[in-house]
Chains A and B, each alone.
Chain A
Amino acid sequence: AQSVTQLDSQVPVFEEAPVELRCNYSSSVSVYLFWYVQYPNQGLQLLLKYLSGSTLVESINGFEAEFNKSQTSFHLRKPSVHISDTAEYFCAVSDPGTGGFKTIFGAGTRLFVK
């Protein structure tokens, strides 16, 4: 079964500094990979996704993630964070072979921008 490990439970960072949120997944022949963001008292929002093709994917608000098959990683990065980026971020994986319905989430990383 698929699993996801988010290596940091909390990441404090100063405004305008770069940030990396780390995510590793259990190996599989092929995977779909996602990052979601959750603001307080709200549901999750899809931030970006990797399905196939280019290993670098970007979101509309400056985040990017790179699929690294050899390291089974999908780390999320942003070169300069804002106060408004304070939220919890979830990495997720699913198996294309089973239709992708069973998306598995990591435990989350709380990003605190100060």
Chain B
Amino acid sequence: NAGVTQTPKFQVLKTGQSMTLQCAQDMNHNSMYWYRQDPGMGLRLIYYSASEGTTDKGEVPNGYNVSRLNKREFSLRLESAAPSQTSVYFCASSGPSIISNQPQHFGDGTRLSIL
């Protein structure tokens, strides 16, 4: 029962470097989400994918790109990392039976530090 799997769990980058955060779910869910969590700010939606082949911006998309590779996988890319992107990143998914489309299952997060 893996649920939502995120890799890596920890990463340290230098300013200007690029990297891709990976997310995969094994529950045949249609919708997937990327959030960032910062102290005192709760979770903020970066991008979401309502279904395979579609992606849309959330509250804080600047500096990020996403790819819905297939139904299982939804990756988040930082093209040129900045210290302001230091955060904990969460991927989540929700299934077609969830009419409200809220994130239902979360991964354990990727802790990203940018120096």
Contacts and interface: CB of A to CB of B under 8 A. Distances in A.
A105 interface: yes
A44 B99 contact: no
Contact of A34 (B41, B102, B109): B102
A4 B56 CA distance: 22
Given A41-B108, A42-B108, A105 B42 contact: yes
A68 interface: no
B107 A103 contact: no
Interface stretch (A13-21, A53-61, A73-81, A88-96): A88-96
A34 B92 CA distance: 15
Nearest to B58: A102
A49 B100 contact: yes
A32 interface: yes
A94 B42 contact: no
Nearest to B91: A43
Nearest to A51: B100
Given A43-B4, A44-B43, A90-B43, A103 B102 contact: yes
A92 B108 contact: no
A101 B104 CA distance: 11
Given A43-B4, A43-B90, A51-B99, A105 B104 contact: no
B75 interface: no
Contacts of A107: 40-42
Contacts of B43: 44, 90, 105
Interface in B61-104: 90, 92, 99-104
A10 to B, nearest CB: 11
Interface of B: 4, 31, 33, 35, 40-45, 48, 50, 56, 58-59, 90, 92, 99-109
Given A99-B50, A105-B43, 11 more contacts: A34-B102, A41-B109, A43-B106, A44-B90, A49-B100, A51-B99, A100-B102, A101-B33, A102-B58, A103-B103, A107-B41
